[in-house]
Amino acid sequence: TYDDSKMRQIHYNMNITDYHFDAVLENFWCAAELMEIGNGVISDAVEVLGKVRQMVTAGCTVRLEIARKKCESQGTDGLYESLGGATGVQTFVEKLYETMAQDDRLRHYFSGSKLEAIKKSQGDYLAVMFGAPIQYEGR
């Protein structure tokens, strides 16, 4: 059985965001529709599942708020420089994609002819988020 008194503790370090939680609810809804479960029942189930959102997303929410406050008070310039500037961010992105390429669950999302352009764009975005003195123009 699942001990709901430990739900927050179990999920705390999983970095589950509201976006992830919403994706699970959406997939739940689609699966239930495919199984021809009535919309009223699905709606009730999603409402019940929604009540655990705060316990499931708490760890990520807490860390994001701590990071936001730290950035407000200290800025992000230090992080960008600590990572080694543009070269450090590029190395981080390369390692990130190497790691994802080794994961069977993720590999197929990160392959193809546009991968280098995606990594470049992601690197630029992260550099700005980390405090780089550049303008991010998007894709």
60 burial level (CB within 10 Å; 0-12, 13-18, 19+): buried
In this predicted structure, which of 28-42, 79-93, 123-137 has the lowest mean pLDDT? 123-137
Count how many residues are written for the chain: 139
Query: HSE on the CB side for 99, CA within 13 Å?
Result: 6
Calculate Rg over the CA atoms of the chain: 19
How many CA within 13 A on the CB side of residue 21?
21
User: Would you place residue 76 in the very low, low, confident or very high pLDDT band (cuts 50, 70, 90)?
Assistant: low
This prediction has a pTM of 0.47
How far from 68 is each of 48, 74, 124, 138, CA to CA, in Å? 30, 10, 20, 22
> What is the reported pLDDT for 1?
60
pLDDT at 41: 94
pLDDT level of residue 39 (50, 70, 90 thresholds): very high
What residue type is 86 in one-letter code? A
pLDDT computed for residue 107 by the predictor: 79
| pLDDT mean over 89-105 | 88
Identity of the highest mean pLDDT range in 65-79, 102-116, 121-135: 121-135
